[in-house]
Amino acid sequence: MTTGHTAAVELQAVTKKYGAGERGVIALHEVEVAFPAGTFTAVMGPSGSGKSTLLHCAAGLDRATSGAVIIDGTPVAGLSERALTRLRRERVGFVFQAFNLIAALTAAQNVALPLRLAGRSPAPGEVAATLAEVGLADRAGHRPSEMSGGQQQRVAIARALVTRPAVLFADEPTGALDARSGREVLRLLRASVDRHDQTVVMVTHDPFAAAHADRVLFLADGRLVDSLDGPAGAQEIALRTARLEEAQLERQQPEPARPQQSRFPGMAS
């Protein structure tokens, strides 16, 4: 089995600008990054640094303003909307903070949905096996409202993995969970990489979550400014995050005021 040799997703000089003219916001500046197949990458950075934009561009949910995004060997720039939708449906999996399961469907029906949308019937046992992988073999007939948050997120992971995508993108997958359910979700993502060579890219604010990754990338002001090759400890990740947040705060401070003339001659103001 080859691991880590080819890129599941590649961004070449990707710039993303929202809006036009002077009021436009450059959310990504010529970002250059590859996510090797069979690896787990965490993306961190202060609020507004461009994490979600990076994820949306890398997943083909949004188009880059310039530069190239290559998903599973296919450059997305040349694709029609319909072809891009098909690429996303067949080669990309998503897990969001808010689970996004369909309330009227059972766990098994939710997991089968991507296969049905791709126009194929699940093979016998396929959905059950995927639910078993996330430890929910006994919940197949339950609807989302009958499951805990952690269980719902595990169903969402099963739904994302059922098509065996080239890459799984997770946007704050533990953000709405208690610590124990969060750890379970992270263990599952890690296991999908270790056991099935899955490629995972996860945006997170949580250093403990990022510590499950093989590599942590740090964004600031739309640029990749730092990286840690893992396994990295949560403490080191937290330290680097704190440094970036401090640097961002410093940049946002107004220009220091000129020293005032002291009202008391001879004393420093």
Interacting residues with ligand ATP (CB under 6 A): 18-19, 25, 27, 45, 47-53
Q: How far is CA 41 from CA 76, 201, 218, in A?
A: 21, 5, 11
Shortest spacing between CB 151 and ligand ATP, in angstroms: 25
Between CA 59 and CA 54 the distance in angstroms is: 8
Shortest spacing between CB 141 and ligand ATP, in angstroms: 36
Pairing of strands 223-229, 66-71: unpaired
Shortest spacing between CB 172 and ligand ATP, in angstroms: 8
Q: Across-strand partners of 157? A: none
Closer residue to ligand ATP (CB): 200 or 220: 220
| Residue 207 Cα to chain centre, angstroms | 14
Shortest spacing between CB 168 and ligand ATP, in angstroms: 18
Shortest spacing between CB 105 and ligand ATP, in angstroms: 29
Pairing of strands 7-18, 66-71: antiparallel
List the structure tokens of 167.
Answer: 């890459």
Closer residue to ligand ATP (CB): 214 or 221: 221
Between CA 163 and CA 94 the distance in angstroms is: 11
Any residues with CB less than 8 A from the CB of 60 and at least 6 apart, and which? Answer: 69, 71, 76, 84, 87, 88, 92
Shortest spacing between CB 8 and ligand ATP, in angstroms: 21
Closer residue to ligand ATP (CB): 45 or 182: 45
Per DSSP, the three-state class of 203 is strand
Q: What does the longest C-alpha to C-alpha distance in the chain come to?
A: 89
Closer residue to ligand ATP (CB): 49 or 153: 49
Closer residue to ligand ATP (CB): 37 or 99: 99
Shortest spacing between CB 166 and ligand ATP, in angstroms: 23
Between CA 3 and CA 37 the distance in angstroms is: 6
Closer residue to ligand ATP (CB): 122 or 182: 182
Between CA 175 and CA 97 the distance in angstroms is: 6
Closer residue to ligand ATP (CB): 131 or 200: 200
Closest CA to 161 of 187, 208, 121, 193: 193
